[in-house]
Amino acid sequence: MKVSVALCTYNGGQYLNEQLNSILSQTVEVDEVVICDDGSNDKTIEILFSYQEKHPGIFKIYQNETNLGFIKNFEKAIKLCSHEIIIICDQDDIWEKDKVEETIRFFENNSHFDGVFHDLKLIDDDKIHPSYLNWKGISHEEIIREIKNDNLFVVLVQKGSFVLGCALAVKKESLKKYEMEDFPIAHDYYIAQKLASKNTLGFISKPLSSYRLHSNQVYGLRYKSDKKEEKISETQKYFKEYVWSYLQILKRYKEMNPKENEKQTKIYSVFIKNRNSYLMSLGFLEKKIYILKCIRHKYLDLGIADLFKI
């Protein structure tokens, strides 16, 4: 399987050499590195052309005439890739030597998956965190379990997408297969959630690259929130976690798959089950009044018939 690297640059001269060297030092060589520069005015272009001069068969450099911004620049780089596997790459990270080898092995052994993501190390000044996912409070076992249960999409929406673009690889054919052409949101959110909604996003538990935390990042890591949640009743907690959250999941599914009927999905079935469980926890009169209000405001997908069924 041949591998393309989709790399976007913008004033990344400070760390770019280290990233490019790590790409060239792989145990399995990449077949092309597609680079879209978004108007750098530091030494980025000079560095890129020096690598292209040494490796003319690998490096393909595109300089944008106008600044496209983060989302459209990555969209452009990904579309310009020509090989079977596209590995998405940031300008300031460092790849482990076996990143390409492990990625190819995953797709060879798991042909039903259209994409895969891996864990990362975090470089924070002089500190190195061994696992980005554990730092986020997410275990490898949890991810593997959710993928096995076809539930990864739900978790990505509930927890906030924890798949970073620099940890993501995708089959080129899947871009056409799922009509991923005009990216409405950042590539990592879009590709990861699109593939997860189809249950075709896999996971490699090894940290295959190091993600650098620094103040000059164009699009940085989502930090954990220190905000304390207010105290609520068990009934309110159930509604928030199992009813309202599934409304958001259904909404996101529809955004990812606008041509499909979300009511025919497993997600919708779970939502209805959770919604009805919540309604049954209410007192008889309270429940009927609440259902009537929901019907009036077109909320929770309730109709007149539900007054007599629930």
> Tens digits of per-residue pLDDT, 113-136?
999 999 999 988 777 899 999 999
Mean pLDDT of 253-268: 94
> Tens digits of per-residue pLDDT, 55-76?
999 999 999 999 999 999 999 9
Contact 33, 91 (CB under 8 A): no
- The mean-pLDDT minimum among 3-7, 42-46, 238-242 falls in 238-242
Contact 268, 250 (CB under 8 A): yes
Confidence at residue 160, expressed as pLDDT on a 0 to 100 scale:
84
Confidence at residue 214, expressed as pLDDT on a 0 to 100 scale:
54
Confidence at residue 230, expressed as pLDDT on a 0 to 100 scale:
62
CA-to-CA separations, 292 to 37, 247, 274, 288, in angstroms, rounded: 56, 19, 18, 6
Residue 50 has pLDDT above 90, yes or no: yes
- Nearest one of 170, 168, 163, 154 to 221, comparing CA atoms: 163
pTM: 0.87
Confidence at residue 233, expressed as pLDDT on a 0 to 100 scale:
86
Residue 218 has pLDDT above 70, yes or no: no
> Tens digits of per-residue pLDDT, 10-27?
999 999 999 999 999 999
Residue 224 has pLDDT above 70, yes or no: no
Residue 191 has pLDDT above 70, yes or no: yes
Mean pLDDT of 204-230: 65
Strand partners, 128: 123
Contact 217, 274 (CB under 8 A): no
Residue 219 has pLDDT above 50, yes or no: no
What count of residues does the chain have? 310
pLDDT-based confidence at residue 226 (cuts at 50, 70, 90): very low
Residue 111 has pLDDT above 80, yes or no: yes
Contact 182, 258 (CB under 8 A): no
- Side chain identity at residue 296, one-letter code: R
Confidence at residue 232, expressed as pLDDT on a 0 to 100 scale:
78
Cα Rg, the chain, nearest whole Å? 22
Confidence at residue 216, expressed as pLDDT on a 0 to 100 scale:
53
Residue 268 has pLDDT above 60, yes or no: yes
Confidence at residue 229, expressed as pLDDT on a 0 to 100 scale:
54
Confidence at residue 220, expressed as pLDDT on a 0 to 100 scale:
47
Confidence at residue 228, expressed as pLDDT on a 0 to 100 scale:
52
Mean pLDDT of 45-53: 97
- The mean-pLDDT minimum among 4-18, 69-83, 234-248 falls in 234-248
pLDDT-based confidence at residue 227 (cuts at 50, 70, 90): very low
Three-class SS state of 116: strand
E strands in 52-154:
59-63, 85-89, 94-95, 115-124, 127-129
Confidence at residue 126, expressed as pLDDT on a 0 to 100 scale:
72
